[in-house]
Amino acid sequence: MFKPNANPFPVLEEQSELRRLTQRPQRHRLLHGYPLAAAMPRVEPGDRSSQGLLHFQPDRGLLVGVLPHPFCNPTVTGCGFCTFPHETFNRGGAVGVMDHVVKELEQKREADPSLAGRPVAGLYFGGGTANLSPADSFRTLCRALANTFDLSTAEVTLEGVPAAFLNRTPLLADILREELPARHFRLSMGIQTFDEARLQQMGRLGFGTATTFRDVVRLGHARGFTVSGDLLFNLPGQPLTVMRDDIGQAIELGLDHLGLYHLVMFAGLGTEWSRDPALVASLPTNPVAAQHWLELRSLLHEQGFYQTTLTNFERREFLGQDRRFVYEERSFQPDRYDMIGLGPTGISFAGSGQTAVKVINPDSASAYVEAVNQGGAACWNRAFTYAPRDLRVLHLTRSLSALRIDRPRYQGFFGTDPRDDFPREFAALEQEGLILVSDGAIEPTCLGMFYADSIAALLSWKQVLGLRNQHSAVGSPTASHANSNSRSHM
């Protein structure tokens, strides 16, 4: 994939690191933002010294992400591939956690009265299984959110497993409309694949098949919602013909929005599938996987979809319309939007000029409940304050997720040009054909989109090494450093 070094700029160290990175598994950690949890210093939940870290400025936009609970119920742990924190579903546990999500919201409102009536641009019920929430608890949570924020201009998304959109009484989609006075509603379901043998391998047949997926689209459209679905590609031993067929069937369903994710799997990752040497051995190499990405991306463009972010595509008729998916797009603008994250693993971010803070709540249900019960607004257990260089890395990696680093916008915010701030890194990336540089922007090439994890890792490389030396942080305890890119990634 690499071109000879025709540029005399001395970037051999950066090129060597980049080539190391592109030979490793390409992950989706870029979507979580710099720095990742592994690079963030720990704090004790309720630590009074961290209570005042977050200040949400009224002149900035606001997004709210809610993870109602961490529970799921596939017949194969984590569907074989999932790296999200998850626990075995039980209704009582979900009710208990959701009661504490409401309590966390109340604590934040008491600590910062300016949040009351604050306009919200996007509200996202996520975590992969939000629609497994018990209906009464979900209604209570929706009411608490509606009583706290101004949702009149908000886009609201409910994420979940397909069958749970259909087999609940009452339907959570109807609770959304009844309780939230929002501008627009969306449903987002994890399809993964239409191949029933593969769904069985994932333990997801109980979550639905093609008929279920179609019924979710019809349910959403009948209520005026837009509907999105997520697909995985580059599954173990999966032929390109099956990947193309999955996309064809997804389009035929009438989905408005499609998320396309390359499978992340390698020995030592800690997922069920990653423990099976035969499955790991049947994964495509990075060059082959990248070629699959290029072909599938082209197919979506041919079928009337346009790309909005690294992993997301929408039908062309939504281009420039207010019904397009905006939550993710705006989450990639840390110079304009803050984030309140509620629930287990909730991520909050607050910026002010040339400073910003990011905090993350505990992952497990029990640790989260304990943290909320300690009282106060600070139930997080990881916190990071951005230095000027960190904020530049954040801006670049967030913009990369949105496919375009706007050079005049960056210069207007920081007073410098990104190529002046990261000259060696951008020179190496350009020489290797992973970015295109113009007077107005720095953009990933189509190949660079597949290797975006490596691009972000190179931009944050030296900064993360410094953070890890400072905080003695390490990568995921279940991941092999030889395979994971964790050494230098965000």
Higher confidence at residue 54 or residue 396?
396
Contact 291, 278 (CB under 8 A): no
Distance of alpha carbon 373 from alpha carbon 190, whole angstroms? 32
The token duo for 142 is: 């929706």
Amino acid, single-letter form, for residue 252? E
Residue 471: band (very low, low, confident or very high) from pLDDT cuts 50, 70, 90: low
> Each residue of 68-101: pLDDT tens digit?
999 998 989 889 998 888 899 999 999 999 999 9
The pLDDT of 333-362, averaged and rounded, is 95
C-alpha–C-alpha distance, residues 255 and 228, integer Å: 6
pLDDT band at residue 473 under the 50/70/90 scheme = very low
Average pLDDT over residues 222-248: 98
C-alpha separations of 313 from 31, 259, 292 in Å: 15, 6, 16
- Residue 29 has a pLDDT of 73
Q: What is the C-alpha separation between 32 and 311, in angstroms, rounded?
A: 13
Neighbouring residues of 371: CB distance < 8 A, sequence distance ≥ 6: 45, 46, 361, 362, 379, 380, 381
pLDDT at 490: 41
The answer to whether 426 and 435 have CB atoms below 8 angstroms apart is yes
Using one digit for the tens of pLDDT, what is the confidence trace for 153-183?
999 999 999 999 999 999 999 999 999 999 9
Map out the domains of the chain with their CATH numbers: 1-36+387-490 (1.10.10.920), 48-330 (3.80.30.20)
Q: Which of 62-71, 385-394, 412-421, 458-467 has the lowest mean pLDDT?
A: 458-467
Q: What is the pLDDT confidence band of residue 354, given thresholds at 50, 70 and 90? A: confident
Reported as type and span, the H/E element at residue 282 is: none
* Confidence (pLDDT) at 210: 98
- How sure is the predictor about 470, in pLDDT bands with cuts at 50, 70 and 90? low
In this predicted structure, the answer to whether residue 457 has a pLDDT above a threshold of 80 is yes
Average pLDDT over residues 348-364: 94
The CA distance from 86 to 463, in Å, is 30
pLDDT of residue 467: 63
What is the pLDDT, as a whole number, of residue 38? 80
pLDDT 10s digits, 107-128: 999 999 999 999 999 999 999 9
In this structure, the number of other CB atoms found within 10 A of the CB of residue 366 comes to: 13
The CA-based dihedral angle spanning residues 115, 121, 123, 127, taken in that order and rounded to the nearest 10 degrees: -110
Asked whether residue 45 carries a pLDDT value surpassing 90, the answer given is no
Query: What burial letters (b/e) apply to 431-453, b meaning 16+ CB within 10 Å?
Result: bbebbebeeebbbbeebbbbbbb
- For the cut 60, the answer to whether the pLDDT of residue 398 exceeds it is yes
Under a CB-based contact definition with an 8 Å cutoff, are residues 30 and 457 in contact?
A: no
Separation between Cα atoms, residue 254 and residue 216, nearest integer Å: 10
Sign of CA dihedral 111, 114, 117, 119: negative
Q: What is the pLDDT of residue 49?
A: 63
At 48 the pLDDT is 57
Whole-number pLDDT of residue 51: 65
How far is Cα 241 from Cα 231, in angstroms, rounded to an integer? 14
Residue 474 pLDDT greater than 50, yes or no: no
Give the pLDDT confidence score for residue 4 in this predicted structure: 40
pTM of the model: 0.93
User: What pLDDT is stored for residue 25 in this prediction?
Assistant: 95
Q: How far is it, in rounded angstroms, from Cα 451 to Cα 468?
A: 23
Distance CA 432, CA 296 (A): 22
pLDDT the model gives residue 487: 41
pLDDT at site 484: 38
Bridging pattern class, strands 155-160 and 122-125: parallel
CA dihedral of residues 448, 311, 38, 270 (deg, nearest 10): -100
pLDDT at 3 over 60: no
Tell me what pLDDT residue 316 has: 97
The pLDDT confidence band at residue 481, using thresholds 50, 70 and 90, is very low
The confidence score (pLDDT) of residue 52 equals 72
pLDDT at 275: 96
What pLDDT is stored for residue 468 in this prediction?
60
User: Alpha helix locations (H) across 303-364?
Assistant: 327-331
* pLDDT of 6 higher than 60: no
Mean pLDDT of the chain: 91
Q: What is the mean pLDDT of residues 295-313?
A: 97
E strands, 206-263, in order:
226-233, 257-262
**Distance (Å) of CA 240 to CA 236, 300, 326:** 11, 14, 31
DSSP 134-194: -HHHHHHHHHHHHHHEE-TT-EEEEEE-GGGGTS-SS-HHHHHHHH---SEEEEEEEEE-S
Binned at pLDDT 50, 70 and 90, residue 291 comes out as very high
Predicted pLDDT at 343: 98
Give the largest Cα separation in the chain, rounded: 66
CB 46 within 8 A of CB 374: yes
Element (H, E) at 122: strand 122-125
Nearest to 311 by CA among 369, 377, 258, 372: 258
With a cut of 80, say whether residue 360 has pLDDT above it. yes
- Does 256 have pLDDT greater than 90? yes
Cα–Cα nearest to 255, from 294, 225, 223, 295: 225
